[in-house]
Amino acid sequence: MILQQHKIVFGGTMGAGKSAAIKVLSDIGVISTEAVNTDVAAHQKAFTTVGIDYGEISLDDGTKVGLYGTPGQGRFDFMWSIVCQGAIGIALLIDHSSVQRLDDLAFYLNAFEALGSNIVIGITHLDIVDDQKLKIYRDWMDVNQKKYPVFAIDARHKDDVLLMIEALLVRLEVQLDIVK
């Protein structure tokens, strides 16, 4: 049985690095539901998540945080609400190399906003260092009146993923202070 005190969900586009982010953070062997990718029109990767990925990190105080990865394909959207129940935060990952990256951001943000208010956004596959690449996402946020932190990350690098998780935890603390 999986027992954790808290849960963080990784959602977003297929191939954006959700499984990689969980693998790089997890203190335990990740439970993965990857299968052969039959949707090569959406992404050329060989395998894709078709269920839920699960990992876990233990904080210094002994708190366990479950890390849940959702499938990126829209046809699995029925699972997103189930996985997000009780989550303390959602890390959305968007693949910058996709030509429809802003449409993807709109789609996934709309879907996951309905499931939780504590969201951070990680933009992946930014192979060339250029601070202005995040500008298109910040401009989109301004135009659409959204107020979420946006990070350029490599989901294979623990420090990048930890920065997003720390931002989620800080946002949670702020939200809890507002409620008090």
Confidence of residue 127 (pLDDT cuts 50, 70, 90): confident
* DSSP state letter for 141: H
Residue pair 54/2 in contact by the 8 Å Cβ criterion: yes
Summarised one tens digit per residue, pLDDT across range 19-72 is 999 999 999 998 877 655 455 555 555 555 556 889 999 888 888 899 999 988
In a domain, 1, yes or no: no
Q: Is 59 exposed, middle or buried (0-12, 13-18, 19+ CB in 10 A)?
A: exposed
In a domain, 76, yes or no: yes
CATH number of the structural domain spanning residue 74: 3.40.50.300
Instruction: Name the one residue in this structure whose structure tokens are 């269920």.
Output: 51
Mean pLDDT of the chain: 85
Summarised one tens digit per residue, pLDDT across range 129-163 is 555 688 999 999 999 999 999 999 999 999 999 99
In a domain, 84, yes or no: yes
In a domain, 51, yes or no: yes
Distance, in Å, from the CA atom of 130 to the CA atom of 128, rounded to the nearest integer, reads: 6
Q: Which domain holds residue 122?
A: 6-179
Number of structural domains, the chain? 1
In a domain, 99, yes or no: yes
Name the pTM for this structure. 0.85
In a domain, 153, yes or no: yes
Summarised one tens digit per residue, pLDDT across range 165-175 is 999 989 988 87
In a domain, 11, yes or no: yes
Cα 62 to its chain centre, rounded Å, is 23
Single-letter amino acid code for the residue at 89: G
φ/ψ bin of 86: left (φ > 0), alpha (ψ from -120 to 50), beta (otherwise): left
Q: What is the mean pLDDT of residues 64-82?
A: 86
Number of residues written out for the chain: 180
